[in-house]
């Protein structure tokens, strides 16, 4: 009888310990997670003053029409050809931080990003990845359905440049190295990753990273509004393409833009952390020759 009571108490203690361990594990991981997610058009329209809104489309598209108060933030304006001749690299960090500060954005600013998953080659995904890479501490939201959904709801649009009174601030970054990968690291540990090429079939046939599988970035969204796939839809896409999820995923394209979109969809789906090879084929070809 006594041994039975002892055994029962041991089981109770063990279950309590496991519960506490899981609780602490989740608490710690949640505290480390970025505040990211989706926001719908109606909710955003009621909270315009609460967010800094970034339009990821080319500036000419922003000038034609944009969400009131939004700021043009296209990858075309914040990338450059680096000292190795590699195109589409992000601006030097200090320069990028200076630009953000002039826009009134600091590391705690609440940000909404939108695009159309078309004219910018998925630039909203690059923006989303960029702020996560910079270690942004404030909330980051993607407008679900982009500007298409905004129009569907017959919400107001502006055209041309608006008069703004942006107060210059300081943007302090803290690079999140876990969501990017260098050519050297990828080459050295190539067999440790599941590598997904998000370019077109023509680009793929001209050359690709050894061992990669191709899934066009356009398969990561759906419907006329080009809404990002949810978790179940993404898992089905992976299953259809025989993607090994037991290895960390690395997405790449030419220079990190389209792969940034795929990375964003992956990250929003709640799957284990993935990497965006920001250098892409531009870096792979130049740094492996």
Residue-wise pLDDT tens digits, 103-121: 999 999 999 999 999 999 9
- Cα angle: 127, vertex 114, 243; to 5 degrees: 60
> Does the structure show a pLDDT above 80 at 288?
yes
Residue range 133-152: mean pLDDT, rounded: 98
Average pLDDT, the chain: 90
Contact 89, 255 (CB under 8 A): yes
- What would the pLDDT profile of 7-30 be if each residue is shown by its tens digit? 444 444 444 443 333 333 333 333
- What would the pLDDT profile of 51-92 be if each residue is shown by its tens digit? 999 999 999 999 999 999 999 999 999 999 999 999 999 999
Q: What are phi and psi of 33, to 5 degrees?
A: -70, 145
> Does the structure show a pLDDT above 60 at 225?
yes
- For residue 171, the tally of other CB atoms under 10 A from its CB is 22
pLDDT of residue 196: 98
**Helix, strand, or coil (residue 200):** coil
How many C-alpha atoms does 112 have within 13 Å on its Cβ side? 24
Residue range 135-152: mean pLDDT, rounded: 98
Q: What is the CA radius of gyration of the chain?
A: 22
- What would the pLDDT profile of 252-262 be if each residue is shown by its tens digit? 999 999 999 99
> Does the structure show a pLDDT above 90 at 187?
yes
Q: Please, what are the domains in the chain?
A: 36-176 (3.40.250.10), 178-287 (3.40.250.10)
Burial 9-42 (b: 16+ CB within 10 A, else e): eeeeeeeeeeeeeeeeeeeeeeeeebebeebebe
Query: pTM here?
Result: 0.88
Residue 113, token pair as written in the block: 């990003």
pLDDT of residue 3: 45
């Amino acid at each position: 009888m006594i041994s039975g009571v002892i055994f029962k108490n041991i089981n109770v203690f063990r279950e309590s310990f496991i519960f506490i361990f899981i609780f602490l594990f989740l608490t710690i991981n949640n505290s480390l997670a970025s505040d990211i997610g989706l926001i719908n058009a109606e909710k955003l329209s009621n909270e315009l003053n609460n967010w800094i809104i970034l339009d990821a489309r080319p500036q000419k598209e922003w000038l034609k029409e944009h969400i009131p108060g939004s700021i043009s933030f296209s990858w075309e304006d914040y990338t450059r050809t680096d000292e190795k001749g590699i195109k589409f690299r992000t601006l030097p960090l200090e320069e990028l931080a200076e630009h953000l500060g002039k826009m009134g954005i600091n590391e705690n600013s609440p940000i909404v990003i939108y695009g159309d998953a078309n004219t910018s080659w998925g630039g909203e995904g690059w923006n989303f990845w960029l702020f996560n890479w910079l270690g942004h501490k404030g909330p980051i939201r993607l407008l679900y359905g982009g500007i298409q959904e905004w129009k569907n709801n017959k919400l107001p649009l502006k055209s041309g440049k608006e008069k703004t009174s942006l107060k210059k601030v300081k943007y302090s970054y803290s690079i999140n190295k876990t969501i990017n990968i260098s050519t050297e690291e990828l080459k050295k540990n190539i067999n440790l990753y599941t590598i997904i090429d998000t370019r077109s079939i023509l680009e793929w046939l001209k050359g690709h990273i050894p061992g990669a599988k191709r899934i066009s970035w356009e398969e990561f969204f759906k419907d006329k509004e080009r809404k990002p796939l949810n978790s179940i839809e993404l898992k089905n896409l992976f299953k259809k393409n025989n993607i090994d999820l037991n290895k960390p995923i690395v997405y790449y394209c030419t220079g990190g833009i389209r792969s940034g979109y795929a990375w964003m969809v992956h990250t929003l789906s709640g799957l284990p952390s993935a990497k965006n090879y920001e250098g892409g084929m531009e870096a792979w070809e130049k740094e492996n020759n």
